Structure 1
C-alpha cells in the first residue's frame, strides 16, 4: 500500500480518535500508585466519572476492555444457574449472551432482527409470564455498535416496573457513554457497563461499572466466583483513593483530561452534537440512494450509522477501496452482517468538518469502487449542518 499524506481518518465506531490534549495528559512518567499524587488523581477521577453516568452512586474503574466490565456486572450480582433475560439487538448483545453462558448462567434471548432496538412490550410480556420470578436480571445493550440501533432504556425500566418484577436491570453503554444521553439514576439502572475507547475519547484499556444500591445488596449473596472483578474489595480501597491491584495509571491521567473536555463543552451540547451528526449522516446515506440498517427512526444512533450495500456488492471490498484510495478506515459488518454493511463512526472527538471529510471519502469511495449510488450525499449532510444555528438538534434521550 502506497504511503498517503495527511492524517488517517479513523472512522470506525471505536476505538475512536484520541485528542492531543488527552495524549499529552498521558505522556508523563509513571508515578507511584501507592503515593499521595496518585491518591489525589484517583479521588478526582472516581468522582468525575460519576457525572458522565449521571449518577450519585459508585462507579468502579477496571484496567480492562468492555468485555471485562460485562463479566464484572454478571459475576457480582448473579449465581450459577440464574436465568437472565436478554434481547437480540445485534452482535454485541449476542456476545454478552455467550459470555453469560460460559459463566454458568441461563440466558434467554428475545429474538430481534438487528434493525431496531429492544422492544419494551416484549420484555414486559415475558416478565409478566415469569410469575415465579426465576429471571434474576434483564440485560440490554443501549447502543448496539454492530447495527447503529439504540434501545429505549427508560421505557424498558418502565416495562420491568409495570410487570412488577424484581429483576436487576443491567445496561451496556460501551458505544453510547459520553455520546448519547444516558441517565443511570433517573432511568433506574442497577449496573451500567462502559468502556474508555469510544465517547470518552481514550485508548482502549479502561472499563466501568456504575452500581446501584440494589445491585450492591445483590452482590452480598451472589454466588458466581469472582476475584479480580470483585466490587467489595475494589470499593473498600477506592474509598481511600487507591486500587486493590496496579491500576492503568497513565490512562487515568487521560481520563481526567477527557472529563475536563466533556464538561467544558457541556454534556447537553455533546449529546446535541452527536444527534446532529447522526441525522446528517443518515441524510447523506438516503441521498446516495442507499439504505440505513436501522429502520426504526426513533432508534437511530448518534454514535454510528450502519449502511447496507446494494445487492451484489461487497462491503469489505468497498472498505478496502476507501482505505487504499483515501486513507480512511470504516467499520466492517459483524457476524451475520459481514460483507453486507459498512459502519461510519461519528462519535467522540469529532466536529462538523470531520464529518464532511468522512462523508466525502465515502462518496468518492462509492464511485471508485463502482457501487451504484446517486451523487449529492455530502451536500445533503451539509444542509443539515448549516441549520445548526437555527434549530439545535434534540438530544437522543432514548426514552
Structure 2
C-alpha cells in the first residue's frame, strides 16, 4: 500500500524525524571518559520534565512495566501492604504484579471509566490507624479507558489522613504530555516509559524518586539485581551505568528532551489538551460517547464506545487493512466495545484531522449511522477557533 502507516494508538507513538536521525549513530564505548558528558545532562534535564528539583531520575534499558517493579521492590519489604484502585487494564496489571511479587495488595474495584475516588481513598487512609499501608499505587492516566486521575488530589488525601505511605504514580502515558508536578504533588516514585510522551521507541524505563523513597531503599530487604536502584546510584553519580545502556535510546532522548524543553512543558500540556478537545468534539459530532466519565477525560487517549450492535474490532480491522490507519483496541473487558484514538506525542491539528477522516471512513464501511465529514468538520471549527 502506498504511503506510510498512520499511527494513532496511545503508544508506541510517532517518533519525530529529528529523534530518529539522532538515534542513527555509530555505537561507542559506554565506559569511555566522555560518556558522562552525554549521560549526566540527560538525568538532569529529565528532572525538568518530571518537574522536580528534589528528586533523582533514573534510566533503565527496560519498559514502564519494569518501572512498576523497580518502585515496589526497591522501597518495600515482602508482605508489605499496598493499596490500589482498579479501573482499567493497566491498574489491573500493576495490582497483579504486586500480588505476584508477594505484597499484600488491597484492591478496590471502581467503574471502568472513572478514576481514583479521592473521598474513598481519604476515608480508607484515615481508617488505617496503625499505618499498615506502606504505599499508594496511583495510575495517573489509565490508557485502556482514556481516564486521568487527580494525583494532586491523592496527595491531599494522604495529607488529610496524616498518612506516611509512599505515593507511587504510573505516569507511563502521562509524563511528558499531561500536567505532572512531582515536587508540588509530593510524589515519591514516578514511572514513565520512552514510547509515549517522550516520542521514542520502546525500550527505556524513565523514573524519578523522592528523597523519602531513596531513603527507603536502605531498609528494603526485597531481593533484586538488575532492577536495583542502589547499583544505579553508585554508578550514576560518576556519569555511568551499572550495565550496558541502550545507547540509541539515550541519543534519541537527548533530542526528545531538547524538543520538549524548547516547546516548554506548559505548552506541551496545552497542546495535548487542545488536540484531545478536538478529538472529543469529533466523537460528539458522530453521536458517540467516551468510555471516560465526565471529569476524567484523558488528554492523551480517547476510548470511543461503539453502539451495542457494533463491534469495535471491525472498525479497527477495517481502518488498518483498508486505510493503513492504526487505532488502539479495547482491552480485557472492553474488547469489542471501544476503539481508542491516541493523541499523544508528535501530533498537531492536521495529524488529528487525518485520524478523524480515516475513522469516519472505517465506521461508514462498517455500517455506522454517522454523517460523512461530521467529526472532521467539528474538529476543524474547534482547531481554527483556538489556534494561537
TM-score relative to the length of structure 1:
0.95
Once residues 354 and 251 of structure 2 are traced to their aligned partners in structure 1, the CA distance between those partners, rounded to angstroms, is 30
Which ranges of structure 1 fall in alignment gaps of 5 or more residues?
Answer: 391-399
**Matched residue, 1:386:** 384
The structure 2 residue matched to 1:39, chosen from 29, 36, 41, is 36
SS of the aligned residue for 2:197 comes to coil
Once residues 23 and 113 of structure 1 are traced to their aligned partners in structure 2, the CA distance between those partners, rounded to angstroms, is 39
CA displacement, residues 120-141 of structure 1 (integer Å, 9 cap, x when unaligned): 1111011111111110000011
Once residues 31 and 142 of structure 1 are traced to their aligned partners in structure 2, the CA distance between those partners, rounded to angstroms, is 37
Once residues 11 and 387 of structure 2 are traced to their aligned partners in structure 1, the CA distance between those partners, rounded to angstroms, is 29
**Matched residue, 2:350:** 353
SS of the aligned residue for 1:387 comes to helix
Which ranges of structure 2 fall in alignment gaps of 5 or more residues?
Answer: none
Cα distance, 1:373 vs. partner? 2.6
Once residues 359 and 33 of structure 2 are traced to their aligned partners in structure 1, the CA distance between those partners, rounded to angstroms, is 49
Once residues 43 and 6 of structure 2 are traced to their aligned partners in structure 1, the CA distance between those partners, rounded to angstroms, is 32
The structure 1 residue matched to 2:202, chosen from 188, 200, 204, is 204
CA displacement, residues 323-355 of structure 1 (integer Å, 9 cap, x when unaligned): 111100000000110111000001001111000
The structure 1 residue matched to 2:314, chosen from 317, 322, 336, is 317
Native 8 Å contact 1:315 1:341 kept in 2: yes
Tell me the number of residue pairs that the alignment of Structure 1 and Structure 2 aligns: 386
**Matched residue, 2:149:** 151
Once residues 178 and 74 of structure 1 are traced to their aligned partners in structure 2, the CA distance between those partners, rounded to angstroms, is 22
Cα distance, 1:265 vs. partner? 1.2
**Matched residue, 1:13:** 10
Cα distance, 1:374 vs. partner? 3.8
**Matched residue, 1:79:** 77
SS of the aligned residue for 2:91 comes to helix
Once residues 238 and 215 of structure 2 are traced to their aligned partners in structure 1, the CA distance between those partners, rounded to angstroms, is 21
**Matched residue, 1:58:** 56
SS of the aligned residue for 2:10 comes to coil
Cα distance, 1:106 vs. partner? 1.1
Cα distance, 1:270 vs. partner? 0.8
Once residues 239 and 341 of structure 1 are traced to their aligned partners in structure 2, the CA distance between those partners, rounded to angstroms, is 46
Once residues 91 and 301 of structure 1 are traced to their aligned partners in structure 2, the CA distance between those partners, rounded to angstroms, is 15
Native 8 Å contact 1:310 1:372 kept in 2: no
1:363 is aligned to 2:388: no
**Matched residue, 2:26:** 29
Native 8 Å contact 2:113 2:296 kept in 1: no
Native 8 Å contact 1:16 1:201 kept in 2: yes
**Matched residue, 1:396:** none
Once residues 211 and 93 of structure 1 are traced to their aligned partners in structure 2, the CA distance between those partners, rounded to angstroms, is 20
Moved more, 250-259 or 260-269: 260-269
SS of the aligned residue for 1:278 comes to helix
Once residues 207 and 327 of structure 2 are traced to their aligned partners in structure 1, the CA distance between those partners, rounded to angstroms, is 29
SS of the aligned residue for 1:299 comes to coil
TM-score relative to the length of structure 2:
0.98
Native 8 Å contact 2:173 2:197 kept in 1: yes
Once residues 256 and 207 of structure 2 are traced to their aligned partners in structure 1, the CA distance between those partners, rounded to angstroms, is 18
Runs of 4+ aligned residues of structure 1 deviating over 4 Å after TM superposition are none
**Matched residue, 1:394:** none
Native 8 Å contact 2:56 2:210 kept in 1: yes
Q: Map 1:1-399 onto structure 2 (within 5 A).
A: 4-56=1-53, 57-296=55-294, 298-375=295-372, 376-389=374-387
SS of the aligned residue for 2:41 comes to helix
Native 8 Å contact 1:59 1:209 kept in 2: yes
